[in-house]
Each structure stands twice: as structure tokens, then as C-alpha cells.
Amino acid sequence: MRAVVVATAVAFLVSLLGTPWAIRGLARLRAGQPIRTDGPQSHLAKQGTPTMGGMVFIVATLIAYVAGHLTLNTLPRAQIAQVGPTMTALVLLGLFVFCGAIGFIDDFLKVRKRNSLGLSERAKLVGQLLVGGVFGIAALTEESTNGETVGSTTLSFIRDIDWLRVGTAGAVVVFVLVVISTTNAVNLTDGLDGLATGVSVMVLTGYGLIAFWQYRHWCADPDYTLDYCYAVRDPLEVAMLAAAAAGALVGFLWWNASPAKIIMGDTGSMAIGGLVAAMALATRTVLLLPIIGGLFVIITMSLIIQRVSYKTTGKRVFRMSPLHHHFELAGWSEVNVVMRFWIIAGIAAAIGLGIFYGDFLAATASID
């Protein structure tokens, strides 16, 4: 627990204190956010707000992870799964950093061209396929001393579903699809000041709680006595990274809340998406992710519905997609949209946690 708290605190402080430096540096480099001219007119005032702010909380999370491990080295040896980074951490941080790198290229091109067009959808997809494929293979082939891999060859909800085995090749495909879906979902949510940041804090906090609970009821723990345990790999690492990323985002939110002084950009949204996807896979809760990240799903579906409707009937279901822009054009203030969407995101995360814990209570009751 101490390592998780330390990682959270360090990430928060580094992000909170480091973001003003990033704002000034990006402003000097004229790395301002280009704004779509066909969007809500109120957004035109955001033209030139420093973008690529995701670099701040990526760096803060990396620093916090190191700080958390330094704390782990002070604990009794029996409480430490492994001294130094595990394959789980390498997969999670790898997706976090490299998905962020794809977003950084996209942001850089937007800034350089001075318009809202960066990487093409095809180029982003190719990048996500490569990153997801490389880390998917690593997650499914390298085994720990007790035979566990980061990912699983079985689809999962609260844990692996035995009859939904997809094999190694199928599991890599699932891994890649989850990475692509989640990175794009978070990216679509990042449209209003503080919206994606606040929602991501709730989702990451949810996964931090799940991972820590799995650590406390871990099959690999020699001191654990209950029959009901979680066959996952390095759950403390997942909990520490989830807490660190959430803490870094809270620090960033101080400056990203309306009116935003800095925007995370695709650098941040794609990094978050990659990390959340990896956490769902590492905790064996892939099918629970659409519930915990319910708002991401709602916003993504609004875009899909809009496109399908327009291409098939020539009519739009929403005034504008993604969904948050529809409510802006309907007369809601930006702050109202953000706060109400945060409430929805919080409810979705709470429902997901309730399902996870309810399964534990039901299972342990049946054992008794």
C-alpha cells in the first residue's frame, strides 16, 4: 500500500508543479492547438492554447513508478513480487509511451501545418496495430516463474472465462483490437476542457482498486489461504501504475480545467487509451472495460451512429458528434457538459467496481 500511495503523491506533485513549465515552454515554441472551424463557435477562443500537454503526465507517471519501486525496496522481501520492473510494467508503460508517441506525431503535424488535420486515420491505425501487436506478443509469450503471462489466451469478464479460449494468435488480435478501440475512444472524448482528464481519473482509479484487490487476493501469494484467488501477473505493479497515472492526471487537471491553460492533445489521450487497454488485459477484465469506461463507449457510439445514419439516410441524429458537442449546440455550457458527463463516468465506474466486488462476495460465500 505504501508504494501505491508514494507513486500517487509523486505523480500528482510532479504533474501539478511541472505543468506550468510545460505551458511556458510550449507557448514559446508556438505549439498552439488548431481549432476546427466547423465546430462550436465558442471553441474558437481556444485557438493557440498550448497542446501536447500529455507529455507532462506521461513523464510524471514514469517518475512516480520509479519512486514507487524505491519504496518497494524498503518493504519486507516477502511483500515484493519482483525487485525492478516486471514484464507487466514494461507492457503497460510501453503502451502508455508508444501510443502517446503516435499522438505526439499527430499533434506535431497539426501544429506545424497550423490546422486540425494531423496524421491520417490510416496512419494512426497502422501505428496502433504495430504498437498493439508488438506489446501483445510480449504480453502473451513471456512467462513469469509461476507460469503466468501478462495477457491471457482466454477472454475475460471478472476473470478468465474458461470456455472462451481464443489461443495465442487470437489473443494477440483481441489485444490489438482493445488497444485500438480504447485509444480512439479516449481520443474522441478529449473535446472539452477537463472532460477526458476527469473521466480518465475515474477509470484509472477503478482499475487501481481492482488491481490492488487482486494483489490482496493473489494466487501467487504464498501466505494467502482462501481458495478464491486471482490468477493474474504482478497485480501490485498494475495498481501502482494506475494510481500514479490517476495522480498525474489530477495534477494536470488543475491546469486543464475550464478555461484550460493547456490541452493534453492526442499525445495524452492516446497514451491514456493505451494504458487503460493494457490494464483491462492485465487484470483479466476485458469485457468489464466497456462498463467501467462506459462514457468512452457512449461517446464512441454517438460518432458511429452519426456516421451510419448520415451515410445511409443522409440525416444526422445529433447536431454534431461526438456527443458532447451535440449538447453544446443544444445550449448547455461547456462546464455543464463536463460536470454532467463526469457524473455519468463516475456512475459507470462504480457499477463496474460493484460487479467486480459482487462476484468476489458471491464466490467466497459459496466457498463458506
Cell 451512429 sits at which residue? 305
How many other β-carbons are positioned within 10 Å of the β-carbon of residue 210? Answer: 28
Give the list of residues 6+ apart from residue 48 with CB closer than 8 angstroms, or none.
32, 33
Cell 489521450 sits at which residue? 269
Specify the 3-state DSSP secondary structure of 210: helix
- The more confident residue out of 229 and 100 is 100
* Selection from 303, 320, 289 nearest residue 157 by Cα: 289
With 90 as the cut, is the pLDDT of residue 10 above it? yes
How far is 101 from 93, CA to CA, in rounded Å?
12
The chain-wide mean pLDDT, for the chain, equals: 90
- The more confident residue out of 147 and 235 is 235
Name the maximum alpha-carbon separation found in the chain: 65
With 90 as the cut, is the pLDDT of residue 32 above it? no
Cell 448547455 sits at which residue? 332
Confidence of residue 336 (pLDDT cuts 50, 70, 90): very high
Query: Which grid coordinates belong to 323?
Result: 456527443
With 50 as the cut, is the pLDDT of residue 212 above it? yes
Specify the 3-state DSSP secondary structure of 147: coil
Q: In the chain, what percentage of residues exceed pLDDT 90?
A: 69
How far from the centroid of its chain's Cα atoms is residue 244's Cα?
A: 12
Give the list of residues 6+ apart from residue 41 with CB closer than 8 angstroms, or none.
none
- Per-residue pLDDT at 78: 41
With 90 as the cut, is the pLDDT of residue 298 above it? yes
β-bridge mates for residue 156, sequence order: 160
How far from the centroid of its chain's Cα atoms is residue 81's Cα?
A: 24
- Per-residue pLDDT at 66: 93
- Counting beta carbons within 10 angstroms of the beta carbon of residue 302, is it exposed (0 to 12), middle (13 to 18) or buried (19 or more)? buried
How far is 163 from 363, CA to CA, in rounded Å?
19
- Per-residue pLDDT at 39: 60
Confidence of residue 190 (pLDDT cuts 50, 70, 90): very high
Query: Which grid coordinates belong to 125?
Result: 491505425
- H-only helix segments in the chain: 2-28, 54-72, 87-113, 121-141, 167-189, 195-216, 235-256, 265-282, 289-292, 294-313, 323-329, 334-367
* Selection from 287, 272, 249, 121 nearest residue 185 by Cα: 272
Residue pair 102/130 in contact (Cβ under 8 Å)? The answer is no
- Per-residue pLDDT at 123: 93
How far is 68 from 33, CA to CA, in rounded Å?
34
- The more confident residue out of 363 and 335 is 335
> Please, what sign has the CA dihedral across residues 350, 356, 359, 361?
negative
- Per-residue pLDDT at 40: 65
Q: Could you report the per-residue pLDDT of 55-104, keeping only the tens digit for each?
A: 999 999 999 999 998 887 665 444 444 556 789 999 999 999 999 999 99
Which segment of 49-53, 198-202, 222-226, 283-287 scores lowest on mean pLDDT?
A: 222-226
With 50 as the cut, is the pLDDT of residue 232 above it? yes
How far is 197 from 194, CA to CA, in rounded Å?
5
Residue pair 249/69 in contact (Cβ under 8 Å)? The answer is no
End-to-end Cα separation, the chain, in angstroms: 28
